[in-house]
With several copies, the nearest count.
Chain A
């Protein structure tokens, strides 16, 4: 009976609408706006994009308020599956993080080959560092780097902001601080950040010397057995479409015209499989 009541309390499935909870980076970069119309035509449905913090996106999925989530926080995503909110996670794409900082580069990190070394130099110089501080995928990556250098950043030079990537870059620009940014947001905003330079990460992902700076995006369809209110059919179609080689090719091309390099690199298994014969 209690189960019936729970089921009854679920929101009715809204046919024709797919709710996609995702992080701000995918939306703010313009990627979704570029690729989604094709899917909307394909499935004859409307995609509602809810772009929020990574944690919030997963929480929305946990409550059954989205049909599919697209995030970049690998460990949290695994936990999401362990809690049975989704059955599977699929790799979608990746890009990378870069370390940016003031043009004067007081910690002299431009010559470093890895983020670990660069962070150690920043900490040693006690040069201002702006951290997202919001438990996002970016911050998780940042924390992993500090840990790899055996450092626990603290002190007046380390500023934990609790804001999104754009805002953090803005603060770093004003305060002439270092920060870790995803390449896409950096490229999109660098015109407005006159005080900052890209100091570690190379001009494109191919030139990024540090593999630890990879940023992986995964997609998960919310499990209808746990959340009967979700539009499972559309979610399944969406995941399938997103990892399909055709879509992956569009992702690979996105950003070329504006930045001269892609913002995201296709990473789905099907894409990789489709690339093998070509090599």
Chain B
């Protein structure tokens, strides 16, 4: 226990938490900015091949982080097509990988939330003169509980993810070590108590972030 306390007073812990939030926050932002509009669109319009797109998105929710990590790694590797960017083993690479993992979750669950809004509501909004984008935004606000859940699920998926960030970040101390990779490290060392303690920290961080997200959802009502 005293070991835990010493561990927790380490300034590195703060830095690890900060990097975790920065990477996951940025990835979530990217995935949201891309995934919410696309999910909304897919939920709103009917088109040929919709079923296939749905299937692809749903399957994307099951992309193994390790495979995504490998893919990003091979792309960013110095012998890969994007090697010149020099992103490998930097937080940027981790953001890219997590954004890819988060995207299908955000888009797929937003789609199902938007599709759950009564068609009559959409017709009403259309008849009041809303443009395509305004319609989408209005329906999104009506579906905000489901859209928030989509973002929450994606956040949970990537903040707890380790396979991809380990591969493309390298778990470099002081550089690219986040909470999950630190947990894995302690686990491999047999330091189970420390690993569990960091797990608790991670869960606390996720809890705090969700409090904020639900606040935001509440705000949207008063628009």
Chain A interfacial positions (CB closer than 8 Å to B): 8-12, 14, 19, 24, 28, 33, 46, 48-60, 62-65, 133-136, 159-164, 166-167, 169-171, 174-175, 188-189, 192-195, 227, 229-230
Interface size class of B (residues with CB under 8 A): 20 to 34
- Hey, which chain A residues are within 8 Å of B175, CB to CB? 46, 48, 159
Interchain CB contact (< 8 A) of A166 among B79, B81, B86, B189: B189
Once bound together, how far apart are the Cα atoms of A275 and B85, in whole Å? 46
Q: Say whether A159 contacts B173, CB under 8 Å.
A: yes
Interchain CB contact (< 8 A) of B170 among A33, A48, A54: A48
Shortest Cβ distance from residue A170 to the other chain B in the assembled complex, whole angstroms: 7
Interchain CB contact (< 8 A) of A159 among B84, B86, B172, B185: B172
- Hey, which chain B residues are within 8 Å of A54, CB to CB? 189
- Known contacts A160-B173, A161-B173: A64-B78 contact under CB 8 Å: yes
Q: Say whether A52 contacts B188, CB under 8 Å.
A: yes
Q: Say whether A12 contacts B188, CB under 8 Å.
A: no
A48-B175, A188-B190 are known contacts; what are 20 more A-B pairs with Cβ within 8 Å? Answer: A10-B84, A11-B83, A11-B84, A11-B88, A12-B86, A28-B188, A28-B189, A48-B172, A49-B173, A50-B171, A53-B187, A55-B188, A62-B190, A134-B185, A160-B172, A163-B185, A167-B166, A170-B190, A195-B78, A227-B78
Q: Say whether B189 contacts A53, CB under 8 Å.
A: yes
Q: Which of A51, A162, A163 has its CB near the most chain B CB atoms (within 10 A)? A: A162
- Known contacts A63-B77, A159-B173: A166-B84 contact under CB 8 Å: no
Interchain CB contact (< 8 A) of A162 among B77, B85, B185: B185
